[in-house]
Every structure is written in C-alpha cells, then in structure tokens.
Structure 1
Amino acid sequence: MTISPARIHLIAAARPNFMKVAPLWHALSAAPDFAPVLIHTGQHYDANMSDAIFADLRLPAPDHHLGVGSGSHAEQTGRVMIAYEKVAMAERPDWLIVVGDVNSTAACTLAAAKLGVPTVHLEAGLRSRDRAMPEELNRLVTDVLADVLWTPSPDADDNLLAEGIPAERITRVGNIMMDSFELVRPAIAAADEPGRLGVAVGGYGVVTLHRPSNVDDPAQLARLVDALLAAQRRLPLVFPVHPRTAQRLAAGGHDVRLRDAGVILAEPAPYIRFMSLVMNAAAVITDSGGIQEETTYLGIPCLTLRENTERPITISEGTSRLVNAGTLIAALETALGQPRSERKRPDLWDGCTAARCLDDLRIRMSGKARAAA
C-alpha cells in the first residue's frame, strides 16, 4: 500500500519568518514523505520585506497568500484566524508548523487548535518576561497551544518546563536562522552591499530600529536619534529603515537630522544584501531579536537597544549587549576597542537545525501512528 506524504502547512508572515521557514521548506520538499504547503499571511507586504526575500532564499511563490496586510494587533490576528481557518478546513493538513512570535504565529496556532490540527512551534520557549511586548504575548499563547515545541537553546527548554509544559512535548533542535545563512552564504559573500552604499568593509556600523517602544514614543525616538548622531561621529552608520520607522522619523524631522550628519538612510534590503551589510560591519545597533542571533553567529558586536531580551544566550555566550540611549556610546567604544576573536557558538547553532526538525517530526508521526493502531 502506498502511503501518501504528510501534508505540512508552513506559515510565513513577516521578514524574520521567511528566513526561518526557508530551510524547512527546502528540507521538507526534498523528502519523499512530506508535502509542504507554503502559506504567506501577508502580514509584511512590502516587496523588499517579502517578494525579494523569497527570491533570495529560493522559495517558490506561496501556495496560498492570505493578503492580511497592516492593521492593529487585534485586526491582524483576527483576519489571519479567519483566513487560515478557511484554508485549513478546505485542505486539512496533517501538521501545521508556525515560526517565531508575530501575530500570524499565534493566530494560526489558535485556529489550528480549534480544528484539532497538530501544531509545531519552531523557536519555542523564548521569554523576555515583558508582557508590554506584543511578541511576548504571542509566544505565551503559541507555546501553550502547540503540540510540539522546537527550541533553540537550553534557556528556552527551562522556560517551558517552568511553565508546566510536559518534557515530551519539547525537543531542542537548535537555531534555524543559521541554516538560512548557510543556505545562501556564497551569495552573501559575493554580494558587495558596502561597496554599493559607498562604505568601507569593517569601517561602518549597521542600525535597525522598529519596535514600538523605541519608535512610537516621540521623546524616546528623539533620544535614540541623538545617540545615533553621537555614534555617527565615532563610526559611519548605515540605517536600512523599516517603513513604520521611516514614517516616525519623518514626522519628527529626524530623517533630515540623520542625513545632514552623514548617516546613510537606506531602503529595507532583501536578505542577501542585508546580510552582506551585517557580515562586513564593525558593529550593529539594533532592537531586533533575530539580528542578535546572526551577529552572535558571526562574532560581530551587537548593541541591543532594549531593556530585556528573549534571547539571553546571545549575551551569555554571544556578542549582544543591552544598551539604551544613554549608554550606547560607551558600549560602542568598548566594542570597537576589543579585538575580534573567535567565539564559541551556542550548541546546535550549526546550520543543521532543519534536518533535526524533520527527524523529530518523523519520530512523532510514527509514534502517533503506533498509538492510533
């Protein structure tokens, strides 16, 4: 008797999701026992944040595009639940895999749970302990409802166990972001984004800002811009600007201030060009979660403009340091004054996470089949 391959729904919603989904899609597609179905919720709809990144990561056009677009957290979450439920009911998957911590992650998990679709959360167990962060609420909801929790690090395992999650639902698979980097490393190495922007390799810093706590409060944004202007006097900065951040900067006249000081305000870059920029930087200033991981993998100093991080391993074993507007310059001076040395990467951050995910899924599917028999 021929056994049909397991239909796996893969949810992609926002820029960080695309990098996490790509290695899984490639691994699932190459395996005869799986049939991946790629679903783009449309939470990020800017071409540089979606279409171009799909092309960089050699992802096909999505099988389904839900076209959710922007809106409040409730609007996005509700629209994704309604749209994904229709897809799951019409084309019931054997498994759903969600990644990260965006609104679409929690929404699809909730819809699947109500339909009885087994769900896996990749990058489970991360905690900032800050419920003012929308992403923290998405993590908590997703991890409670998901059937299988794939974690990137020991602290994530500990968080889940402390919250009462049974150990048998948890498998540490490592960090999928490293798989994405290795997937296209030759293209990243060949790209010359610093040259395109007119900056010297190793002679500039990269800035990314997008979190509401940093960009939506005019006073906080002004403080950060002042800090960036001071940093620019120490190290030329390249700032690929998130669309929401661009609106906030323009509203306060800060874009003019930054340009006049020599900061390069660039469009959001596709994955290969952006990682070419990061890979050749002297330091990175960011409030992103994923970039803390990528800089740790590459050994590049990362100054994280946040009060907390859900990725503490990037501090204890990596290159990230939590800073604020007042401490940024001193931290930058310290980072630039230290010789770059080879750092031990966290365990299982090795580019082989997707393979471990498939191995675990096969074990769980065979166990479920035995239980049913």
Structure 2
Amino acid sequence: MARLRVLTVVGARPQFIKAAAVSRALARTGSFRESMVHTGQHFDPDMSDVFFEELDLPPPSHFLGIHGGGHGAMTGRMMEALEPVMLAERPDWVLVYGDTNSTLAGALVAAKRQIPIAHVEAGLRSFNRAMPEEINRVLTDHVSTLLFCPTAAALDNLRREGVTSGLHAVGDVMYDSCLHARARSARSDILCRLGLSEGGYRLATVHRAENTRDASTLAAIVDYLRRQPGPVVLPLHPGTREKAGGWGVDLSGLTVIPPVGYLDMHRLLAGAAQVMTDSGGLQKEAYFHRVPCVTLRGETEWTETIAAGWNRLWRGPDYLPRRDIDEYGDGRAADKVVAALAG
C-alpha cells in the first residue's frame, strides 16, 4: 500500500518543537512519507539550525530562505515559493503549526490548490485582532480540513465561529516534546556557564510585534524586568536586539545572552524562579516545568494557565490559587494527530 505523502511547513522555533514530536510519530507508523519545508522565517542559526540538531529533526527537504520585510510582503513571498513545492511534491496533506506567517502562507497555498490542510494547535484565540498571530490562526483554521485542538477552550472557540467538522481534541504536542527533552536537558551546563544557581534567577523573552513596535513600549518592559529581584536572564531575539540598539533602549542590569538551543532553554526553564515572556509557547513550557509565569502582554490565548494559577498578566491581577492543568494530555498528542491523518 502506498504511503501517504505529508508536506510539513515550518519556519519558527515553536514550530520546530511541535513538528519534532509529530515527525517522530509519523516515522514510527511506516505509513507516511514526510517532506519538510523550512520557510526561513527564523533564519539565525541560534534559532533554527540548533533546533533541528537537538530535536533530531532531519534536515528540511526544501529551504526557502524567506525572512524580513513586512508581514504582507513576507507572507506573499512565502506563498510564491511554496506553490511550486506543493505542485512538485503532490502531498495528500499539508501540515501546518501554530500562528506564524509561515503557517498562513502554507495554508493559503494548499487551500487554493485544493490540498487538505491539517492544523496543529488550532482554535487558540487571544481576541486581539491587532496581533498578526491572531489573524494568521483565525484564517488558517477556517481553511483547514483537520483541526487539532490542544484545549477544550480551543474547541469552543472554533464551534462559536461555525467550524464544526474535522475537530480533534488531542492535547498539546509541545508537552510531548518537553517530555522527550526533559532527561537530555538535565545534562546542559548552561547554569554553570552563566554563573547561575538553581532557583536564583528569572528567565525572560521579548519578541512580539506589539512589544517591539515602538521605543516606549519596549523600554517599559525592560524597566519592568530590571525591577525584578535577582538576575533576569534575557536570551535576546535578534529582532529585539536590533530594535533596542536602534532606539537606544538601555538593557543594562539584565543578563543579556544570545538565543539558546532547545535543551539549554529547557534547563534555564527548569531552574528559574519565574518566567516572564510574551511568547505563547514559553507560557506552557513554564507550566510543564511547574515554574510560575508572567505574560508580558494584555491577554493570553492560553487562558487555562491563568485560571490554574501558573500564569498572570504583567499589568493584571495576582496569581489565582494554583492547581494542575489536565487538558494538555499525557504526552501522546502526536500519536493522536497521526492517527487522524491516517483516517
């Protein structure tokens, strides 16, 4: 029997992490032939190559090298480059993850070529249409054939929007990846290299457009981080570094380091007293390590982390009473994705 052809479209750090779990599950079955396209959205070796190495992801079959420019221009260039790839590969499924420009570009090209689309991490909503990521995830959901939801809230969001077919509650594939990496990350020596002690520092990341679009917003976040007790370790996104330098935003008082690999980041997460981030994925990864998080935004799509007391908004109320979150699954979300793709 012929193997089903899956074309996976990725471009950014969180997608590499999610795709690693699903790619392993696809390979285990022997029923699929997966080809991966890396759009190049995250092109810095510290945010791309190292993740493929540490997550045991095979090199992508296609690298498009597309990054930079405005959202429209980037998405358009990706679509132009993805169409001939899809025509050549003739996939049975196009598999996309999350909410980046790469996600939307892959979904739109597949929809126009009438290729079934599977969206992993479907149904998330921040209800802030000023966020590019919100536009990407809404549009992708509404052209997808299979929608793999990590939470009950994600299912409810889709049903409210009239999306009722192809819905699957599978849990969170990032949790699968976290479990896979946990033992290996314990061997990281990054705490020693940075002179940090277990539980004696805070970990921060800042990269969202809403936080880096003007100097005053970025400066306010940096000031907030600087006022936290203990050293605050900031693996600095290249785009944020460029903006801060251009605007003269002073980063002194923070432990600024280059972006780190997946295993080093997990070690930093596991040892932190608190995480402060505008990343959606890192909010959950903090919970996976049972480290409290502060979200550097006005809202979050991961509302259950707020309700369960592991997360709060930086300008919002204090933490609610803490409890475990059941809906992220048991570490087998990727197997459920693959079973649905197999039909």
Q: In structure 2, which of residues 184, 190, 195 is the aligned counterpart of residue 193 of structure 1?
A: 190
- Residue 310 of structure 1 and its aligned partner are, at CA, apart by 1.2
State the SS of the aligned residue for 1:279. Answer: helix
Q: Counterpart of 1:311? A: 302
State the SS of the aligned residue for 1:68. Answer: coil
CA offsets 1:246-267 (integer angstroms, 9 cap, x no match): 1122223334xx33x2x21000
- Residue 318 of structure 1 and its aligned partner are, at CA, apart by 5.2
Q: Take 1:215 and 1:109, find their aligned partners in 2: how far apart are those partners?
A: 27
Contact 1:9 1:96 survives alignment (8 Å): yes
Q: Counterpart of 1:244? A: 239
Q: Counterpart of 1:291? A: 282
Q: Counterpart of 1:267? A: 258
Q: Take 1:160 and 1:39, find their aligned partners in 2: how far apart are those partners?
A: 27
CA offsets 1:227-276 (integer angstroms, 9 cap, x no match): 22211xx2211110001111122223334xx33x2x21000001111111
CA offsets 1:116-159 (integer angstroms, 9 cap, x no match): 10110000000011000000000111000001100000000000
Q: In structure 1, which of residues 269, 274, 278 is the aligned counterpart of residue 269 of structure 2?
A: 278
Instruction: Identify unmatched segments of 5+ residues in structure 2.
Output: none
Contact 1:297 1:345 survives alignment (8 Å): no
Contact 2:182 2:266 survives alignment (8 Å): no
Name the aligned partner's letter for residue 197 of structure 1: L
Name the aligned partner's letter for residue 246 of structure 1: R
Q: In structure 1, which of residues 362, 366, 369 is the aligned counterpart of residue 342 of structure 2?
A: 362
Q: CA RMSD in A?
A: 1.6
Q: Counterpart of 1:366? A: none
Q: Take 2:287 and 2:178, find their aligned partners in 1: how far apart are those partners?
A: 13
CA offsets 1:186-205 (integer angstroms, 9 cap, x no match): 21111122111111111000
Q: Counterpart of 1:55? A: 53
Equivalence map 1:1-373=2 (5 Å):
3-166=1-164, 168-231=165-228, 234-255=229-250, 258-259=251-252, 261=253, 263-317=254-308, 319-324=310-315, 343-363=323-343
Contact 2:74 2:101 survives alignment (8 Å): yes
State the SS of the aligned residue for 1:112. Answer: helix
Contact 1:283 1:300 survives alignment (8 Å): yes
TM-score calculated relative to the size of structure 1: 0.89
Name the aligned partner's letter for residue 195 of structure 1: C
CA offsets 1:168-193 (integer angstroms, 9 cap, x no match): 31001110111111122221111122
Name the aligned partner's letter for residue 121 of structure 2: E
- Residue 293 of structure 1 and its aligned partner are, at CA, apart by 0.8
Greater share of residues in helix: 1
Contact 1:313 1:346 survives alignment (8 Å): no
Contact 1:211 1:287 survives alignment (8 Å): yes
Q: How many residues align?
A: 343
- Residue 362 of structure 1 and its aligned partner are, at CA, apart by 2.0
Contact 1:209 1:245 survives alignment (8 Å): yes
Q: Take 1:318 and 1:170, find their aligned partners in 2: how far apart are those partners?
A: 28
Please say which structure displays the higher CA radius of gyration.
1
Contact 1:296 1:318 survives alignment (8 Å): no
Q: Take 2:171 and 2:230, find their aligned partners in 1: how far apart are those partners?
A: 34
Name the aligned partner's letter for residue 248 of structure 2: G
- Residue 349 of structure 1 and its aligned partner are, at CA, apart by 3.0
State the SS of the aligned residue for 2:68. Answer: coil
Contact 1:13 1:104 survives alignment (8 Å): yes
Q: Take 2:13 and 2:21, find their aligned partners in 1: how far apart are those partners?
A: 14
Name the aligned partner's letter for residue 322 of structure 1: L
TM-score calculated relative to the size of structure 2: 0.96
Q: Counterpart of 1:371? A: none
Q: Take 1:169 and 1:220, find their aligned partners in 2: how far apart are those partners?
A: 40
Instruction: Identify unmatched segments of 5+ residues in structure 1.
Output: 364-373
